[in-house]
């Protein structure tokens, strides 16, 4: 990298941007205990420095990515219509519907020369998205023993791109790209419901022994529906029309804080204990968009592919009207990415074949020359939907009790090889003290 690059390159001034951001809020009572409200506004957001000023070089010194400081500010137009109701002078019920439309979001467009010696990514404002949904919230802001809120939000998200994601100087390469690209397809609406719970139990100052006064127990719970994403089978690739066909396992968490306030001569002191992930729930750590960044081996995609193939995905994962020839034989079930084998359960592989005639004569899985002592392997025959096992030198239908136990324990799931980073949310306990002067 040339340390005097900024002095050698030609520079120009950036364009000025002026934008209006109107806001409107209307609220009016219906009864003494209820009201309607409406909010509307335009919001502008400054892009991060990477999309504005980045000048990134590749490993070989070539320009890899360029930002653009003249990109327009990202704009969001938001609407909200809501209703609030006082209940028993103790609770507040809020119902609202919302819509947010965002445009001028960034995407990287690849520019490639005809000899492919020059290839860089330019940040451009060619992405858009919108979110619509409703939420229900019940608040309890007053109370001698209990305060808190419960919220449920249902929302749908969709997004898309303007234009194309590649610009090739080669006419042939550009034509091939445009014939096969799905960059300009709009992502189908995806539901993203979630819920939160925050409850605070308080021991009043006039109840019981003085030592117990003002003890607080706070519970913070979260539920989030699993992310939808597109899975096209081992090795990736594109299947036209197949979008968001699998959904990850739902996420649950519950945290606890126990605190005690004490008045001292120096000020107010608080002693607390934070317990994160109270029930020590386990969730696999990986991103659908970049599975190799999670617990799967980074030397290739085989580890991720073997995990996904071992799952018993719903039949809807590869709908027949879109996928005429599935990428592999999937055993129908209700598994989701993120499901795992039960703790302490030995791995029992389930191989798949199309028909009985495809069962291997030696009873071994493809590529295996022997089985470890005590190892059992099941074969699933797609045509008959039966589980077979090679015993006594011949194929027999597997014992149903054994099959049921394997399915119950999910013993067939081929877990990621990077076991030390499969679960990154263990229960933790933190003790602390805070003094306010």
The pLDDT, as a whole number, for residue 417 is: 87
Note whether 121 and 190 are same-domain residues. yes
Quote the CA–CA distance of 370 and 410 in Å, as a whole number.
Answer: 24
Span between the terminal Cα atoms of the chain, in Å = 52
Tokens 């100052």 belong to 205
The pLDDT, as a whole number, for residue 127 is: 92
Residues 6+ apart with CB under 8 A from 104: 71, 72, 73, 74, 75, 125, 128
**Regions of the chain where pLDDT drops below 70:** 1-8, 289-290, 292-293, 298-301
Q: Is position 180 within any domain?
A: yes
What DSSP line would sit under 339-379, residue for residue?
--PPTTPPP--EEEESSGGGS-TT-PPTT-S---TT---EE
The pLDDT, as a whole number, for residue 194 is: 97
Q: Which helix (H) or strand (E) holds 433?
A: strand 428-436
Give per-residue pLDDT as tens, 73-120: 999 999 999 999 999 999 999 999 999 999 999 999 999 999 888 899
CB 317 within 8 A of CB 231: yes
Range of the domain at 407: 350-412
The pLDDT, as a whole number, for residue 385 is: 95
Q: Which helix (H) or strand (E) holds 40?
A: strand 34-45
Mean per-residue pLDDT over the chain, rounded: 90
Query: Pick from 98, 84, 103: which is nearest to 40 by CA?
Result: 98
Note whether 392 and 295 are same-domain residues. no
Q: Is position 89 within any domain?
A: yes
The number of distinct structural domains making up the chain is 2
Note whether 361 and 282 are same-domain residues. no
Note whether 302 and 398 are same-domain residues. no
Q: Is position 328 within any domain?
A: no
Note whether 275 and 366 are same-domain residues. no
The pLDDT, as a whole number, for residue 3 is: 56
Q: Is position 53 within any domain?
A: yes
Note whether 238 and 356 are same-domain residues. no
What DSSP line would sit under 194-259, residue for residue?
EEEEEEEEE--TTSS-GGGTTEEEEEEEEEEPPPEE---STT----TT--S-EEPPPEEEEEEEEE
For residue 401, CA distances in Å to 405, 407, 425, 431 come to 6, 10, 34, 48
Q: Is position 209 within any domain?
A: yes
DSSP 3-state of 58: coil
Q: Is position 326 within any domain?
A: no
Note whether 293 and 367 are same-domain residues. no
Note whether 163 and 289 are same-domain residues. yes
Q: Which two tokens stand for residue 383?
A: 């045509």
The phi, psi pair for 41, rounded to 5°, reads -170, 155
Note whether 184 and 236 are same-domain residues. yes
CB 318 within 8 A of CB 332: no
The pLDDT, as a whole number, for residue 263 is: 79
The phi, psi pair for 412, rounded to 5°, reads -85, -10
Q: Is position 404 within any domain?
A: yes
The pLDDT, as a whole number, for residue 237 is: 81
pTM of the complete model beyond 0.95: no
Note whether 87 and 188 are same-domain residues. yes
DSSP 3-state of 62: coil
Q: Is position 364 within any domain?
A: yes
């Amino acid at each position: 990298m040339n340390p005097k690059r900024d002095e050698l390159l030609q520079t120009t001034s950036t364009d000025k941007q002026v934008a209006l951001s109107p806001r409107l809020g209307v609220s009016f009572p219906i009864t003494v205990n209820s009201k309607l409200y409406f909010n509307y506004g335009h919001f502008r957001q400054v892009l991060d420095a990477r999309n504005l000023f980045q000048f990134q070089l590749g490993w070989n010194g070539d320009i890899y990515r360029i930002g653009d400081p003249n990109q327009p500010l990202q704009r969001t137009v938001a609407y909200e219509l809501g209703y609030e109701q006082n209940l028993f002078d103790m609770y507040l019920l809020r119902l609202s519907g919302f819509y947010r439309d965002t445009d001028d979001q960034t995407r990287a467009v690849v520019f490639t020369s005809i000899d492919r010696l020059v290839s860089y990514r330019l940040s451009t404002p060619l992405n858009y998205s919108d979110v619509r949904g409703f939420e229900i919230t019940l608040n309890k802001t007053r109370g001698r023993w209990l305060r808190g809120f419960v919220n449920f939000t249902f929302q749908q998200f969709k997004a898309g791109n303007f234009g194309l994601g590649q610009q090739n100087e080669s006419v042939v390469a550009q034509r091939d790209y445009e014939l096969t690209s799905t960059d300009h397809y709009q992502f189908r609406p995806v539901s993203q419901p979630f819920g939160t719970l925050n409850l605070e139990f308080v021991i009043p100052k006039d109840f019981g022994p003085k030592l117990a006064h003002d003890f607080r127990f706070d519970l913070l719970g979260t539920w989030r529906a699993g992310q939808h994403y597109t899975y096209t089978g081992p090795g990736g690739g594109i299947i036209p029309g197949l979008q968001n066909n699998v959904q990850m396992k739902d996420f649950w968490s519950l945290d606890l804080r126990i605190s005690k306030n004490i008045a001292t001569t120096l000020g107010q002191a608080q002693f607390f204990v934070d317990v994160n992930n109270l029930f020590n729930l386990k969730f696999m750590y990986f991103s659908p968009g970049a599975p190799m960044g999670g617990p799967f081996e980074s030397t290739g995609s085989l580890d991720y592919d073997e995990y996904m193939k071992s799952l018993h995905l719903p039949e809807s994962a590869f709908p027949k009207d879109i996928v005429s020839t599935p990428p592999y034989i999937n055993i129908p079930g209700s598994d989701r990415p993120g499901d795992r084998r039960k703790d302490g359960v030995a791995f029992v592989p389930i191989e798949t074949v199309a028909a009985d005639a495809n069962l291997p004569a030696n009873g071994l899985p493809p590529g295996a020359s022997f089985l470890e002592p005590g190892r059992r392997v099941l074969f699933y025959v797609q045509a008959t939907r039966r589980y077979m096992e090679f015993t006594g030198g011949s194929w027999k239908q597997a014992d149903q009790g054994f099959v049921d136990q394997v399915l119950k324990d999910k013993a067939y799931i081929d877990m990621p090889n990077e076991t030390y980073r499969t679960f990154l949310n263990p229960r933790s306990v933190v003790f602390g003290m805070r003094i306010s002067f």
